[in-house]
């Protein structure tokens, strides 16, 4: 089967060249970026919180007591969050990380790099040089800013866990794999962004074909950036997914920098181009829910009905994304990758407790919340209570050779907890509630 066509301006490129381009750090010749500049952060600013300073929405609280903590000596950890405080996705990463830390007897500090790679390095160095340096430093290789910190960490007693964004291929040539060249680097936890990006494209084509079995489909792809490994994998998956139908043409790949405002502006400009050229637009692939929301706003402003006139797919499992799937303005929101925060805590706990630790990279799946399953799982994500999850149950056991991290198993566990808790007295002991959560996990599909 021949490749789908991806077009920018007058240039048309087939799949083989596209895959090469997406594998590079920039989609050379394919990407139109928003013209507005990004804001800079003051390198001297530092905001932080610990597990006692809740990041949960108003009205929610963490009530887990010390008696529920996993056995083992108390540990300390610092997470250099590359995002902004209040930024939806990075708050979700922090929330699950905090919940797991409380499960696992880990005192967690979170500091914010405010999307500034220089501040990320500064904060990481401050943590390493501190007289009270943490046992574990949790890093995201956002914009490939964290790799050089591995060498610095080797001169300290702090262990490093990489999450979400691992090393690029070029960086891996220098730094190797966990434990191979850097004794401080105990592991990486990486979601399968490639499959998620491909799945989104495949589902858009599938549903669009239900209304248009033959003929050409036209679409728009909104990507976040071309620098971070996770984004590159997601973008490449998108290209591969759209290549499955020879009559799909992606007219534009636009870099909307992960935010709603840029996505709305770029989509509006794209729709004007479609109108002027007497073209058509059938689908929009957005690399996160915020950009999907921007696309939806632009469609509505143009008098189009999202989900009817144009199909939109997003990613993040955000409350906003779940809401848009429920009202059928959005086809799906892929995600679950934010649970890498919790998995990082599990890995740190196991490293401290297992005598002969084997450094490793753990790749875990993502999943889609669609019209078919949003009624079941949506409420858990619109107003999440990670108290209902027992992240300690995901640690390595004698019968496990490796981790079985899966966000859908967490949601199934939480559903089981809800069902079991409804039959428990309101003042049931904490240990009884924990047993209910663990039992729900064991009943979850493998």
Query: pLDDT for 327-373, tens place per residue?
Result: 999 999 999 999 999 999 999 999 999 988 999 999 999 999 999 99
As a whole-number percent, the residues of the chain with pLDDT over 70 amount to 78
Give yes or no: residues 225 and 177 share one domain.
Answer: no
pLDDT at residue 154 tops 60: yes
Residue 95 resides in a domain: yes
CB-based burial of residue 10 (10 Å sphere; 0-12 exposed, 13-18 middle, 19+ buried)?
Answer: exposed
Residue 207 resides in a domain: yes
pLDDT at residue 56 tops 90: no
> What average pLDDT does the chain have?
83
Higher-pLDDT residue of 302 and 48 is: 302
Give yes or no: residues 317 and 343 share one domain.
Answer: no
Residue 130 resides in a domain: yes
Among 334, 359, 379, residue at a domain's last position: 334
CATH number for the domain harbouring residue 309: 3.40.50.2300
Residue 355 resides in a domain: yes
Domain assignment of residue 79, given as a range: 48-191+337-391
Calculate the CA 106 to chain-centre distance: 23
Give yes or no: residues 75 and 105 share one domain.
Answer: yes
Give yes or no: residues 254 and 342 share one domain.
Answer: no
Give yes or no: residues 248 and 325 share one domain.
Answer: yes
Among 334, 350, 373, residue at a domain's last position: 334
Q: Which of 264, 322, 321, 328 minimizes the C-alpha distance to 297? A: 264
The pLDDT tens digits of the residues spanning 276-308 come to 998 899 999 999 999 999 999 999 999 999 999
Is residue 344 within 8 A of residue 389, CB to CB? The reply is no
Give yes or no: residues 127 and 179 share one domain.
Answer: yes
Give yes or no: residues 290 and 350 share one domain.
Answer: no
Cα(246)–Cα(244) distance, rounded to whole angstroms?
6
Residue 102 resides in a domain: yes
What's the domain count of the chain? 2
Cα(162)–Cα(145) distance, rounded to whole angstroms?
12
* pTM (two decimals): 0.81
Give yes or no: residues 75 and 153 share one domain.
Answer: yes
pLDDT at residue 111 tops 50: yes
Give yes or no: residues 290 and 342 share one domain.
Answer: no
Residue 113 resides in a domain: yes
Residue corresponding to tokens 């904060």: 123
Q: Note the pLDDT of residue 59.
A: 30
Give yes or no: residues 67 and 159 share one domain.
Answer: yes
Higher-pLDDT residue of 176 and 4 is: 176
Cα(357)–Cα(338) distance, rounded to whole angstroms?
25
Cα(4)–Cα(19) distance, rounded to whole angstroms?
12
Cα(247)–Cα(297) distance, rounded to whole angstroms?
27
Residue 80 resides in a domain: yes
pLDDT at residue 315 tops 90: yes
Give yes or no: residues 212 and 278 share one domain.
Answer: yes
Higher-pLDDT residue of 72 and 352 is: 352
Q: Note the pLDDT of residue 147.
A: 86
For 172-186, 241-255, 351-365, 416-430, which range has the lowest pLDDT when averaged over its residues?
416-430
Give yes or no: residues 172 and 67 share one domain.
Answer: yes
pLDDT at residue 416 tops 60: yes
Cα(387)–Cα(380) distance, rounded to whole angstroms?
11
Among 334, 356, 376, residue at a domain's last position: 334
pLDDT at residue 425 tops 90: no
Under the banding of pLDDT at 50, 70 and 90, the label for residue 24 is: very low
Q: Note the pLDDT of residue 423.
A: 58
Residue 128 resides in a domain: yes
Can you tell me the mean pLDDT for 433-442? 46
Q: Note the pLDDT of residue 407.
A: 97
Under the banding of pLDDT at 50, 70 and 90, the label for residue 57 is: very low
């Amino acid at each position: 089967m021949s490749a789908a066509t991806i077009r920018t301006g007058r240039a048309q490129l087939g799949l083989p060249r596209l895959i090469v381009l997406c594998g590079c750090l920039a989609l050379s010749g394919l990407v139109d970026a928003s013209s507005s500049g990004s804001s800079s952060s003051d390198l001297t600013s530092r905001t932080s919180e610990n597990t006692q300073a809740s990041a949960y929405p108003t009205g929610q609280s963490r009530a887990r007591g010390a008696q529920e903590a996993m056995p083992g000596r108390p540990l300390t950890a610092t997470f250099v969050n590359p995002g902004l405080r209040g930024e939806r996705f990075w708050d979700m990463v922090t929330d699950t990380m905090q919940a797991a830390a409380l499960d696992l007897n880990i005192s967690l500090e979170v500091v914010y790099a405010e999307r500034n790679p220089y501040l990320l390095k500064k904060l990481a160095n401050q943590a390493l040089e501190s007289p009270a340096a943490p046992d574990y430093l949790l890093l995201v290789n956002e914009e490939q800013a964290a790799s050089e910190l591995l060498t610095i960490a080797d001169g300290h007693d702090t262990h490093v866990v990489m999450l979400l964004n691992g090393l690029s291929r070029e960086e891996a040539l220098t730094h190797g794999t966990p434990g191979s060249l850097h004794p401080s680097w105990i592991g990486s936890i990486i979601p399968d962004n490639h499959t998620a990006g491909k799945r989104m494209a495949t589902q858009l084509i599938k549903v669009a074909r239900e209304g248009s079995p033959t003929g050409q489909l036209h679409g728009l792809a909104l990507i976040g950036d071309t620098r971070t490994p996770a984004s590159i994998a997601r973008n490449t998956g998108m290209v591969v997914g759209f290549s499955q139908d020879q009559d799909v043409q992606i007219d534009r790949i636009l870099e909307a920098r992960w935010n709603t405002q840029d996505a709305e502006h770029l989509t509006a400009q794209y729709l004007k181009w479609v109108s002027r050229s007497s073209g058509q637009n059938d689908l929009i692939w957005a690399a996160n829910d915020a950009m999907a929301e921007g696309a939806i706003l632009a469609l509505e402003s143009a008098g189009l009905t999202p989900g009817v006139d144009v199909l939109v797919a997003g990613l993040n499992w955000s409350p906003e994304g779940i809401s848009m799937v429920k009202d059928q303005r959005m086809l799906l929101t892929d995600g679950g990758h934010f649970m890498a925060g919790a998995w990082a805590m599990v890995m740190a706990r196991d490293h401290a407790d297992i005598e002969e630790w084997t450094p490793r990279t753990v790749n875990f799946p993502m999943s889609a919340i669609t019209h078919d399953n949003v009624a079941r799982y949506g409420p858990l994500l619109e107003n999440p209570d990670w108290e209902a999850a027992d992240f300690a149950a995901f640690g390595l056991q004698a019968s496990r050779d490796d981790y079985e991290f899966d966000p859908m198993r967490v949601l199934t566990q939480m559903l089981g907890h809800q069902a079991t808790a409804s039959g428990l007295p309101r003042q049931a002991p904490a240990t009884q509630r924990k047993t209910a959560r663990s039992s729900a996990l064991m009943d979850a599909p493998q």
